[in-house]
Amino acid sequence: MSRREKKVFVIFILTIIAWATESLHKIDAKTVSIFTVLVLLAPVVGVTDWKSVGKKVDYGTLLLFAAGISLGEQVLRTGAATWLAKNSLGAVGVTAMPPLMILLSIAAAVLVIRIAFSSSTSATATLIPTVLGFLLSAETPNLPIAGMAIITSYILLFGSILPVNVPQTMISYATDTFDTADFLKITIPLTIIGMLVWLVFYWTYWHWLGLV
């Protein structure tokens, strides 16, 4: 390992330790991340400078993440997400369907809406409260609301069809080594497989646990 590589290794280890011990020093993960970047760019202890890094930063990616997360927070805060769910799925009579049909309708809607978000965190923060509000308005008696909300959240984890849906893939996408068409050849089959596994778990494991 070169001297610069050793510095990066030590800085990253300290960063991970700081993330893991947040309850002790009360510094949130975002602030720790900012300090990490500052240390990497600092003279003597750092490994590079802002002039060199600034030329290689894909600012479009950063703006996309910021806009996606901000939009998700505003949709949740204003109540627009719950209103949209009730006036779309509710308008076609989903709230009066059997539990399985309600869950499948919600799953399909979440899978499509997930495409509009650039991270699973912002998607979860927006869609799960929306799903809960929609389930509470359902007319079906004895609906397992908590279990259905938990099961729906799993869709947000594998419903990443476009490169912009996950920060990790967006970073690699910014290198211009593949395009969206190449990405879809992998994600669409994986999403279908994920939905089939999700259905198998619905009829077996989650049913045995009493979630549905």
Burial of residue 114 (CB within 10 Å: 0-12, 13-18, 19+) is: buried
Which ranges of the chain does DSSP label H, i.e. alpha helix? Answer: 3-20, 22-25, 29-41, 50-54, 59-78, 80-88, 99-113, 120-136, 145-158, 167-173, 180-203, 205-209
pLDDT tens readout for residues 19-28: 999 889 889 8
pLDDT tens readout for residues 31-49: 999 999 999 988 888 888 8
> Which amino acid is located at 173 in the chain?
Y
**Over residues 111-139, mean pLDDT:** 76
pTM, entire model: 0.62
Q: Nearest-CA neighbor of 131 among 169, 82, 178, 97?
A: 82
Residue 175 token pair: 């290198």
> Which amino acid is located at 200 in the chain?
V
pLDDT tens readout for residues 70-96: 776 676 677 776 677 667 666 667 777
pLDDT of residue 7: 92
Q: Give the distance from CA 53 to its chain's centroid.
A: 27
More confident residue, 186 or 143: 186
- The Cα–Cα gap between 85 and 17 comes to 41
More confident residue, 76 or 110: 110
Domain ranges across the chain: 3-54, 59-209
Confidence band, pLDDT 50/70/90 cuts, at residue 204: very high
The most confident of the ranges 115-119, 172-176, 200-204 is: 200-204
